[in-house]
């Protein structure tokens, strides 16, 4: 069967296989570290239709993924150990230790069998799975093994993304610009990043990761920001270990790149461009600042070969970012969570043609978020129709997804819109919009290019998070509150293209919550309000343990606390906006109050019966 016929057959069956081609098993909220399926019946485990089609079209071995029945439950682990609200390092260290332990224990019998059969494989722990190279005979044998949960495709597609049946990741608007430009990119002006630099906030102390086509690490506008370059008053040392990983090794590296996979390489240019938008600074070259956070550091991973990746290559880069390890090292034992980046930019998507379905990378990004790492992703270039945010990882709730707008703030025609219907969630996407049309940044061969795509919008947001975290370190690793600050401070753009209402509304599935405003985000984060709720019942303070919720009327986010002594529940960090205070135990009561940003506020709330329920807003402004 030809490759085009194979892809066509897969796409034709996509709607029927969404629940079958599962890359990660659902998480559980139960106490155990891992989720275990019910004992298997006599029926063999499922083989995804895409993998079945591959096996039918060839007699040789193919790459596929073996997902074990026992899968991690990181959120349950953090809750059980009291680290859900802990710092990034503590959470990442615990997750690394527990996930590797689980994978080593549960994979041992299967790996021993594969070794005995002489079958090549690669083990993962971020998802408890193995990448295996085998034929139909191997697949049939694996179907009978008790520890195996599912077998799914991991197709290798050798052509570049320009030839795939999907929109390109970007559009090239200008040839390499050898001539310097003193004009600061409009995206840095529109997002007010430049205003933050004047206040001393440049992203200092923050590390941003890029997984993409790679990075030209020694580009003059990027070299100084590379974490692998350590400069003192007398010497400069370069070390790529723990700062770079190539999921493809030397495979697909062009001749201009070093053939040592431990040395960073960009096989295309796209990755170098996105890193420039995050941290680039060409002022020493009689040029301008190109990046949102020129004071931040970057590390990188090549997750695509000539612009095309696989579920395994994407997972490999995430695994490196959770706990960096040397090229060729053992990720199970050589990882260092203390060297993990704070933020991960993802200017890519994994479409069905690369083997992904709606579940393929969900467990991966949820684990990264649980570890306190901000995962930012481009929404996709499949607009202007609605319901076009369709590929992992942009579709997931755990990911902060970004649409693209132009210099005037108008949404780009190519920018993908929500809602997310591909997984049946109806989730609003994108979360926010940022500059993504005619963006000038760094390119390979020490050059510059002007290109466009949501790939260019995502690094603006990743850079903005670095600015926010350098200005307000208390937010580092707190993904929930960081996301709230970004969307609540965005410049609203009412819209209703995708039938959000009879009139234009915010948020919407075109712009999300609006246009990125880094200055407004920092100002909001620097002026949190404190809300103290005192709950009484017939004027007597309730006992400890009554659940109180503070619900953001714009975003729907719920701050939850329990009453302690004297019926008091305290919310120490709340940002400006309209809220509803709720008590449910089991009756529901609400109360409203207006407070100012940066102030301390008290709310007296009397428990009432369901028949007496009223709704009053709490406004913080």
DSSP assigned state of 449: E
Question: Quick check: 619 pLDDT over 50?
Answer: yes
Task: Identify the pLDDT of residue 357.
Answer: 86
Question: Quick check: 604 pLDDT over 50?
Answer: yes
Task: Identify the pLDDT of residue 436.
Answer: 97
Instruction: Confirm whether pTM is higher than 0.75.
Output: yes
Question: Quick check: 438 pLDDT over 80?
Answer: yes
Task: Identify the pLDDT of residue 578.
Answer: 86
Q: 285, exposed or middle or buried, with CB in 10 Å at 0-12, 13-18, 19+?
A: exposed
Model confidence at 46, in pLDDT bands (50, 70, 90)? confident
Q: Which of 551, 557, 555 minimizes the C-alpha distance to 584?
A: 551
In the predicted model, what is the mean pLDDT of residues 12-41?
35
What pairs with residue 374 in β-bridges?
343
pLDDT in tens, 477-503: 999 999 999 999 999 999 999 999 999
Q: Which of 555, 564, 558, 565 minimizes the C-alpha distance to 582?
A: 558
Task: Identify the pLDDT of residue 166.
Answer: 46
What pairs with residue 345 in β-bridges?
210, 376
Give the lowest-confidence range in 127-141, 170-184, 195-209, 404-418. Answer: 170-184
pLDDT in tens, 502-557: 999 999 999 999 999 999 999 999 999 988 988 887 777 778 888 889 999 999 99
CA distance 403 to 381: 9
Model confidence at 399, in pLDDT bands (50, 70, 90)? very high
Task: Identify the pLDDT of residue 180.
Answer: 66
CA distance 412 to 605: 47
Question: Quick check: 36 pLDDT over 70?
Answer: no
More confident residue, 223 or 21: 223
Task: Identify the pLDDT of residue 589.
Answer: 64
Task: Identify the pLDDT of residue 163.
Answer: 35
Count other C-beta atoms under 10 Å from residue 427's C-beta: 18
Model confidence at 156, in pLDDT bands (50, 70, 90)? confident
Task: Identify the pLDDT of residue 514.
Answer: 98
In the predicted model, what is the mean pLDDT of residues 259-274?
97
What pairs with residue 580 in β-bridges?
551
Phi, psi of 354 (to 5 degrees): -100, 5
Percent of the chain with pLDDT over 70: 83
Give me the residue label for tokens 């970007």: 170
Percent of the chain with pLDDT over 90: 69
Task: Identify the pLDDT of residue 372.
Answer: 96
The helix/strand/coil state of 196 is helix
In the predicted model, what is the mean pLDDT of residues 135-142?
95
CA distance 127 to 331: 13
Task: Identify the pLDDT of residue 575.
Answer: 93
Residue 144 exposure: Cα atoms within 13 Å on the Cβ side:
5
More confident residue, 192 or 167: 192
Give the lowest-confidence range in 43-47, 153-157, 381-385, 564-568. Answer: 43-47
Model confidence at 187, in pLDDT bands (50, 70, 90)? very high
pLDDT in tens, 196-255: 999 999 999 999 999 999 999 999 999 999 999 998 888 999 999 999 999 999 999 999
The helix/strand/coil state of 446 is coil
CA distance 569 to 369: 27
The set of residues, in sequence order, having a beta carbon less than 8 Å from that of 358 and lying 6+ positions away, is 18, 392, 395, 422, 423
Model confidence at 586, in pLDDT bands (50, 70, 90)? low
pLDDT in tens, 327-365: 999 999 999 999 999 999 999 999 988 988 898 899 999
| CB 406, CB 454: distance < 8 Å | no
Task: Identify the pLDDT of residue 12.
Answer: 40
* Mean of the per-residue pLDDT values of the chain: 87
Model confidence at 16, in pLDDT bands (50, 70, 90)? very low
Question: Quick check: 444 pLDDT over 70?
Answer: yes
More confident residue, 234 or 295: 295
Model confidence at 3, in pLDDT bands (50, 70, 90)? very low
CA distance 458 to 208: 12
Question: Quick check: 587 pLDDT over 80?
Answer: no
């Amino acid at each position: 069967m030809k490759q085009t016929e194979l892809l066509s057959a897969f796409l034709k069956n996509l709607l029927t296989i969404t629940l079958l081609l599962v890359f990660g098993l659902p998480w559980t909220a139960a106490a155990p570290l891992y989720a275990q399926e019910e004992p298997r019946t006599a029926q063999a485990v499922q083989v995804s239709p895409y993998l079945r089609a591959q096996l039918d079209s060839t007699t040789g071995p193919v790459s596929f993924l073996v997902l074990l029945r026992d899968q991690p439950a990181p959120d349950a682990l953090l809750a059980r150990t009291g680290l859900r609200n802990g710092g990034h390092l503590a959470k990442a260290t615990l997750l690394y230790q527990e996930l590797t332990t689980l994978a080593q224990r549960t994979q041992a019998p299967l790996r021993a069998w594969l070794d005995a059969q002489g079958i090549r494989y690669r083990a993962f722990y971020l998802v408890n799975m193995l990448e295996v190279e085998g034929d139909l005979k191997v697949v049939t044998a694996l179907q009978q093994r008790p520890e195996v949960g599912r077998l799914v495709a991991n197709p290798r597609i050798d052509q570049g993304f320009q030839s795939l049946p999907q929109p390109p990741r970007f559009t090239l608007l200008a040839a390499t610009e050898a001539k310097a430009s003193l004009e600061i990119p409009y995206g840095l002006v529109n997002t007010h990043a430049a205003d933050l630099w004047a206040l001393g906030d440049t992203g200092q102390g923050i590390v941003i990761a890029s997984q993409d086509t790679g990075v030209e690490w020694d580009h003059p506008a990027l070299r100084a920001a590379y974490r692998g370059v350590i400069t003192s008053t007398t010497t400069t040392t370069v070390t790529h270990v723990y700062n770079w990983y190539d999921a493809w090794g030397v495979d697909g590296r062009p001749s201009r790149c070093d053939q040592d996979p431990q040395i960073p390489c960009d096989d295309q240019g796209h990755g170098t461009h996105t890193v420039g938008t995050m941290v680039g600074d060409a002022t020493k070259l009689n040029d301008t600042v190109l990046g949102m956070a020129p004071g931040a550091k970057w590390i990188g991973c090549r997750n695509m070969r000539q612009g095309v990746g696989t579920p395994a290559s994407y997972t490999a880069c995430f695994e490196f970012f959770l706990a960096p390890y040397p090229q060729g090292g053992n990720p199970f034992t050589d990882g260092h969570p203390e060297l993990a980046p704070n933020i991960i930019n993802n200017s890519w998507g994994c479409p069905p043609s690369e083997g992904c379905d709606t579940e393929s990378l969900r467990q991966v990004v949820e684990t990264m978020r649980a570890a306190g790492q901000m995962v930012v992703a481009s929404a996709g270039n499949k607009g202007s129709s609605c319901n076009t945010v369709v590929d992992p990882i942009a579709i997931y709730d755990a990911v902060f997804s970004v649409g693209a707008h132009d210099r005037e703030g108008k949404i780009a025609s190519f920018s993908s819109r929500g809602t997310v219907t591909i997984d049946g969630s109806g989730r609003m996407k994108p979360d926010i919009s940022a500059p993504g049309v005619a963006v000038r940044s760094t390119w390979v061969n020490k050059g510059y290019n002007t290109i466009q795509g949501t790939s260019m919008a995502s690094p603006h947001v990743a850079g903005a998070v670095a600015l926010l975290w350098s200005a307000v370190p208390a937010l580092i690793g707190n993904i929930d509150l960081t996301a709230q600050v970004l969307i609540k401070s965005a410049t609203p753009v009412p819209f209703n293209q995708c039938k959000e209402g009879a009139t234009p509304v915010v948020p919407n599935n075109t712009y999300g919550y609006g246009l990125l405003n880094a200055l407004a985000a920092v100002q909001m984060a620097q002026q949190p309000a404190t809300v103290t709720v005192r709950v009484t019942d017939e004027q007597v303070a309730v006992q400890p343990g009554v659940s109180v919720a503070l619900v953001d009327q714009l975003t729907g986010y719920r701050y939850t606390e329990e009453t302690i002594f004297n019926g008091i529940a305290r919310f120490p960090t709340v940002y400006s906006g309209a809220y509803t205070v709720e008590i449910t135990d089991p009756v529901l009561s609400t109360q409203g109050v207006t407070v100012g940003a940066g102030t301390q506020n008290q709310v007296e709330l009397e428990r009432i019966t369901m028949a007496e329920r009223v709704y009053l807003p709490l406004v913080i402004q």
